[in-house]
């Protein structure tokens, strides 16, 4: 095919970028079926990744005072009083968590309405996010070896948490 000035429009062999078909799962609510994004292999839109990261940052800002270590009192001294920021974070954390979980579900299950999600209990929504691979599965500790493992939300297979293939934690 000739292009400008008699030169070919396409030069060289095709460049193969890979297989980026997204993984999806069916989710049903009130008899309605929705197609959800599976996040375990990062084969879902970057725009959704960015929105999930933004939602996580909002939640992390609320709980930041709770993550700061409290100073240990010196021997014979009374502990420092709890800071107003820490008290505020304790009060706001449950609502912030619920907003975060709801937002994650709405992003990963397009078409679900907020009014529909609010009718589903929080534990069920958290389990859905684990099944879709967004939240880590609950950790299991082998009492004999002391090794902590997590199970793959799609296959149920377990592996050590420090394994290079373990699912990254949502921050």
**Which of the 8 DSSP states describes residue 44?**
S
Binned at pLDDT 50, 70 and 90, residue 143 comes out as low
Residue 24 phi, psi dihedral angles, 5° rounding? -130, 155
Q: Nearest to residue 109, comparing CAs of 29, 43, 170? A: 29
pLDDT over threshold 80, residue 114: yes
Q: Nearest to residue 103, comparing CAs of 40, 67, 53, 152? A: 53
Residue 40 phi, psi dihedral angles, 5° rounding? -65, -25
Residue 4 phi, psi dihedral angles, 5° rounding? -70, 135
What pLDDT was estimated at residue 141?
61
- The label of the residue with tokens 């107003």 reads 84
| Cα–Cα separations (whole angstroms), residue 113 to 27, 95, 110, 122, 171 | 13, 19, 9, 15, 25
pLDDT tens, position by position, 67-111 = 988 878 788 888 888 889 999 999 999 999 999 999 999 999 999
Say how far apart CA 157 and CA 149 lie, in whole Å: 10
Do 137 and 151 touch, CB atoms closer than 8 A? Answer: yes
pLDDT tens, position by position, 3-60 = 566 666 777 788 776 666 678 889 998 888 999 999 887 778 889 999 999 999 999 9
pLDDT over threshold 80, residue 170: no
Residue 10 phi, psi dihedral angles, 5° rounding? -120, 125
What's the predicted TM-score (pTM) here? Answer: 0.69
């Amino acid at each position: 095919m000739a292009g400008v000035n008699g030169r070919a429009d396409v030069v060289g062999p095709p460049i193969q970028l890979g297989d980026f078909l997204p993984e999806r799962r069916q989710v049903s609510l009130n008899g309605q079926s929705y197609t959800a994004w599976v996040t375990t292999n990062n084969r879902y839109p970057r725009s959704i990744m960015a929105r999930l990261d933004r939602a996580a940052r909002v939640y992390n800002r609320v709980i930041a005072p709770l993550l700061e270590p409290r100073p240990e009192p010196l021997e014979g001294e009374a502990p420092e009083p709890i800071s107003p920021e820490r008290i505020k974070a304790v009060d706001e954390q449950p609502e912030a968590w619920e907003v975060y979980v709801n937002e994650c579900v709405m992003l990963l299950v397009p078409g679900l309405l907020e009014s529909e999600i609010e009718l589903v209990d929080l534990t069920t929504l958290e389990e859905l996010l684990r099944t879709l691979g967004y939240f880590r599965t609950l950790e299991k500790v082998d009492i004999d070896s002391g090794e902590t493992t997590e199970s793959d939300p799609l296959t149920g297979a377990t592996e050590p948490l420090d394994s290079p293939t373990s699912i990254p934690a949502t921050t």
